[in-house]
Amino acid sequence: MSVLKTYEEFVNTLIEAEPSVDWPEAMQSLWWASKGDWNASHDIAQELHTKMGSRIHAYLHRVEGDDWNASYWYKLANESFPSDSLEEELRELVISALKK
């Protein structure tokens, strides 16, 4: 898999069995989240000690319905609890990760 430049290119990779090992860990975590594999995504995100890692971690806890835990991680990322849908938040996270 080549370097991704757009959200659409990212979405097109979701037919694969796994993300590229050449991608940054944040992208790999978001890929697993997009595939619905919460555990694989969480395993990566909890080891990312960055703002992006905290944002992904927050998103994942929001997905599971644990708003208290999600709020903790949003605060660590210096972000407000989002009001947009989970799908919109995931798309925004991917787009943000692509810019890095």
Helices 38-45 and 25-34, interaxial angle, to 10°? 160
Torsions phi, psi of 24, nearest 5?
A: -60, 155
pLDDT number for residue 2: 66
Does the structure show a pLDDT above 80 at 29? yes
- Model's pTM, two decimal places? 0.95
Taking residues 28-40, what's their average pLDDT? 98
Q: How many CB atoms lie within 10 A of CB 50?
A: 13
pLDDT at 1 exceeding the cut of 60: no
Residue 87's pLDDT is 97
Q: Are 4 and 13 in contact (CB under 8 A)?
A: yes
- What are the residue ranges spanned by the domains of the chain? 7-98
Contacts (Cβ under 8 Å, ≥6 apart) of 28: 19, 20, 21, 44
Instruction: Report yes or no: 46 and 26 within 8 Å, Cβ to Cβ.
Output: no
**Contact at 8 Å (CB) between 63 and 42?**
no
